[in-house]
């Protein structure tokens, strides 16, 4: 049997990468072991010497950092994402638009953790743009960093952070990745709201090739089969779809 490939991947990739890697293993006979987590913390594990053959990050900063330090052999983009807003559906929130919800100080606002998790970094970029246009929003001061950090809550396996946090009454609003919308669109207790293009953050996902033996998996991810798995999970793929 072939030696397994060890993959560290951003947690947002779980719904795409589990079936993707299963298909890769079935096609090639190469087993894959994946550990998911906040990409910033995964990069730190690689820098500390943990075994990793391929790193899939939710941003370009962490792969490029590994490339520049000589820990990665190559880095390439493989998918894109956007941000959206998930809100608890109540009489108070049911008819409000995304901006009115963010502007309501009575509603608790949850995010991921900047620095540790690219979702948090992208959210802070969004807040910077919004506060420049609407200074009264003070979103960064209001936001509670609930997941994605070193001491954050652990979201149960199979749960989507935004939905779980709201249903646990830990927040009323959550800024997160838009690819989860398709999994939440038929829920009766949540509202999923798009954020207009003028405020959007381009969430660019990159691979860092740490060991050349993972090159076949990297090629599978950027190839037609891998891109299909990503598209089915709600990501924007290299062909623009």
When pLDDT is cut at 50, 70 and 90, the band that residue 201 belongs to is: confident
Residue 219 CB-half CA count within 13 A: 6
Contact call for residues 83 and 177 (beta carbons, < 8 A): yes
Q: pLDDT tens digits, residue range 202-236? A: 899 999 999 999 999 999 999 999 999 999 999 99
User: Does residue 1 register a pLDDT over 70?
Assistant: no
Distance CA 101, CA 41 (A): 31
What domains, with CATH codes, occur in the chain?
5-80+202-232 (3.40.190.10), 83-199 (3.40.190.10)
pLDDT tens digits for range 184-193: 988 999 999 9
Tens digit of each residue's pLDDT (9 = 90 or more) over 87-103: 999 998 999 999 999 99
Question: Which of 86, 88, 96 has its CA nearest to residue 119?
Answer: 86
Condensed to tens digits (0 to 9), the pLDDT of residues 23-76 reads: 999 999 999 999 999 999 999 999 999 999 999 999 999 999 999 999 999 999
Under a CB-based contact definition with an 8 Å cutoff, are residues 69 and 130 in contact? no
């Amino acid at each position: 049997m072939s030696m397994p490939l060890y993959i560290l991947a951003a947690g947002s990739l779980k719904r795409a990468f589990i079936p993707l890697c299963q298909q890769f293993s079935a096609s090639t006979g190469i087993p894959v072991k994946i550990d998911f987590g906040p990409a910033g913390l995964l990069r730190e594990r690689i820098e500390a010497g943990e075994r990793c053959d391929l790193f899939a990050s939710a941003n370009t900063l962490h792969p490029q950092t590994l490339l520049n330090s000589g820990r990665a052999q190559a880095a390439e983009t493989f998918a894109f994402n956007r941000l959206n807003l998930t809100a608890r559906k109540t009489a108070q929130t049911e008819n409000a638009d995304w901006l009115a919800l963010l502007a309501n100080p009575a509603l608790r606002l949850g995010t991921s953790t900047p620095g540790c998790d690219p979702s948090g970094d992208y959210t802070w970029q969004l807040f910077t743009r919004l506060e420049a246009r609407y200074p009264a929003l003070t979103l960064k001061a209001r936001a509670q960093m609930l997941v994605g950090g070193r001491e954050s809550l652990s979201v149960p396996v199979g749960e989507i952070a935004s939905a779980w946090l709201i249903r646990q009454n830990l927040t009323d609003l959550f800024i997160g990745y838009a690819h989860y919308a398709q999994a939440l669109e038929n829920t009766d207790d949540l509202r999923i709201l798009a954020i207009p293009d003028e405020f959007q953050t381009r969430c660019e996902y990159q691979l860092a090739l740490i060991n050349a033996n993972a090159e076949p998996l990297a090629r599978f991810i950027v190839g037609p089969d891998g891109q299909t798995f990503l598209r089915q999970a709600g990501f924007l793929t290299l062909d623009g779809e």
